[in-house]
Amino acid sequence: MAQVKVFYDHIGNTLTVWFGKPQSEYICEETGEEVILMKDKTGHVLGFEKLNFEVSKPEQLRVAFETITQ
């Protein structure tokens, strides 16, 4: 089963989501919309980081996932 890891840094105001192995990160690419893509050596996206992400009550931050199959 695939794992998704979500980290919220309330001091740095970032939300980081990994759906690949963080250890495989090779390069980062800014999208220009306050999102950074983390990629492996082959260019596959392993995760992303949203900058300037704030929630008023971090202890109540909830994350929901939906899978779509074709």
Q: How much is the pLDDT for 58?
A: 67
SS3 content of the chain, % helix, strand, coil (to 5): 10, 35, 55
How many Cβ atoms from other residues are within 10 Å of residue 23's Cβ?
Answer: 7
Q: What pTM was computed for the model?
A: 0.81
Residue 1 has pLDDT above 70, yes or no: no
Token pair of 18, please? 């990994």
Asked if 10 and 35 count as a contact pair (C-beta separation under 8 A), the reply is no
- The answer to whether residue 13 scores a pLDDT higher than 60 is yes
Q: What is the pLDDT of residues 25-64, one digit of tens each?
A: 999 999 989 999 999 999 999 999 999 998 877 677 787 8
